[in-house]
Amino acid sequence: MALQGASLISSTLRIPKENKPIALKETTLFGVAVPTTFRAEFNPSFAGNKKEKSGLSVRPIRAQTAITTPSINQASSEEKKTLRKGNVIITGASSGLGLATAKALAETGKWNVIMACRNFLKAEKAAKAVGIPKENYTVMHLDLASLESVRQFVDTFRHSGMPLDVLVCNAAVYLPTAKEPTFTAEGFELSVGTNHLGHFLLSRLLLDDLTKSEYPQRRLIIVGSITGNTNTLAGNVPPKANLGDLRGLAGGLNGLGSSSMIDGGEFDGAKAYKDSKVCNMLTMQEFHKRYHEETGITFASLYPGCIAETGLFREHIPLFRILFPPFQKYITKGYVSEEEAGKRLAKVVSDPTLSKSGVYWSWNKNSSSFENQLSKEASDKEKARKLWEVSEKLVGLA
């Protein structure tokens, strides 16, 4: 949703060149007329053990004498069976939604959060700054823009001896103003390479670990976005997500022999982000289809709301960053604080009532969760299968 707004602003608001005045289209944003349907799109409330391995332990896991539950809400009797903290890996936990979620979970004392971050020092400082109890988190290096780093992270995590109970694929980059594509270490366009392919490899490798965990509720959560859902008005703001027939992805997304865009088109940074979010939501469903019954793991995605002040918008034009939060707060009323969004994602991690697999969660204005509908493309089973197969070739799993 945030990115819907982001795109809308970027598509309606032009930065002055050579002191020419800013041109604002009278569509919706800062003009007077904001149709109800539009507001609805920006604010969903209007819409409807394994046993410990030997090896280096980064942080000892303390067996708890008291009965604990992984839920930040009410305990279920099933969860009371567990005597240890849950271990949750959160990618991109050094800022925004990831950090707020890490805080919400760690504060319960029932979770050990593995903050999987590309900037170790930044993550450590961020954890301290928001007051995450020291004994409840571990920072581990992960750069999703390098498949080698993803594999290294998985090795490091396994050497820690910690079981894995929940994996949250949260990190993302958004490059709406980029004129030219940039690339990951392996030469994939950066947004899709980081947001989708890095997470795809990570979750495929860690599926084994999740499967071995004896924790009562094991989950793999991939953060999605309304941005990629063209069944919403905001999702129809150009450039719209569209994976086409995946020809660019199949060609390697390298901008050399093939396009840097999944659908084979011209590079567009905002679209690349939206496409990557469609990939995230399709991947969650393909995981569900292939592994839920066999493993009992819950696979889920979510749209956390418009968290207009996160670092996601760091690459956007300065004026956008100033105007976007008040626009979301006062016009669309779709604004959600980092703290609130973190609580939402923490519930998807731990709340027994959100254990259904294959679901894309959203929240209404009362902050109540509901199962949201994905767009036609984001729920296209054949595309999900094809995406899976092409992605596994690109990351070296097939």
Ligand X SMILES: NC(=O)c1ccc[n+]([C@@H]2O[C@H](COP(=O)([O-])OP(=O)(O)OC[C@H]3O[C@@H](n4cnc5c(N)ncnc54)[C@H](OP(=O)(O)O)[C@@H]3O)[C@@H](O)[C@H]2O)c1
Contact 147, 205 (CB under 8 A): no
What are the C-alpha distances in Å from 236 to residues 12, 178, 226, 240, 242? Answer: 13, 21, 10, 6, 11
Contacts of 55 (CB under 8 A, 6+ apart): 158, 159, 160, 161
- Applying CB under 6 A, the site for ligand X has a residue count of 32
Give whichever of 119 and 373 is closer to ligand X, judged by the CB atom. Answer: 119
Nearer to ligand X, 82 or 95 (CB): 95
147 binds ligand X (CB under 6 A): no
Q: Is 231 in the site for ligand X (CB under 6 A)?
A: no
* Binding piece for ligand X, criterion CB under 6 A, among 39-47, 51-59, 112-120, 371-379: 112-120
The verdict on 270 binding ligand X (CB under 6 A) reads no
Distance CA 314, CA 191 (A): 14
Cβ distance to ligand X smaller for residue 50 or 183: 183
Tokens of 148: 């080698």
Which residue number, 143 or 286, has a Cβ lying nearer to ligand X?
A: 143
Q: Is 95 in the site for ligand X (CB under 6 A)?
A: yes
Measured over the CA atoms of residue 240, residue 273, residue 397 and residue 102, the dihedral's sign is negative
Judged by CB under 6 A, the stretch of 24-32, 44-52, 96-104, 199-207 that binds ligand X is 96-104
Residue 9 sits in the site that holds ligand X (CB under 6 A):
no
Which of residues 76 and 364 has its CB atom nearest to ligand X in the complex?
Answer: 364
Does 225 sit near ligand X (CB under 6 A)?
Answer: yes
Q: Least distance (Å) from ligand X to the CB of residue 17?
A: 28
Shortest distance (Å) from residue 307 CB to ligand X = 4
In the list 85, 103, 118, 383, the residue contacting ligand X (rule: CB under 6 A) is: 118
Q: Exposed (0-12), middle (13-18) or buried (19+): which is 56, by Cβ within 10 Å?
A: exposed
Query: Which of 219, 88, 89 lies closest to 142 in space, CA to CA?
Result: 89
Q: Is 192 in the site for ligand X (CB under 6 A)?
A: no
> Is 127 a residue that touches ligand X (CB under 6 A)?
no
Amino acid at 383: K
In the complex, the smallest distance separating the C-beta of residue 150 from ligand X, rounded to whole angstroms, is: 9
Strand pairing partners for 114? 89, 138
* Given 207, 253, 297, 312, the residue binding ligand X (CB under 6 A): 312
User: Which position's Cβ is nearest ligand X?
Assistant: 96
Residue nearer to ligand X on the CB measure, 73 or 337: 337
The residue among 202 and 264 lying less far from ligand X, judged by its C-beta, is 202
> String of b and e for 167-199 (b: at least 16 CB within 10 Å)?
bbbbbbbbbbebeebbbbebebbbbbbbbbbbb
310 interacts with ligand X by CB under 6 A: yes
**What is the binding site for ligand X (CB under 6 A)?**
1-2, 91-92, 94-98, 117-119, 122, 142-145, 170-173, 194, 223, 225, 303-304, 306-308, 310-312
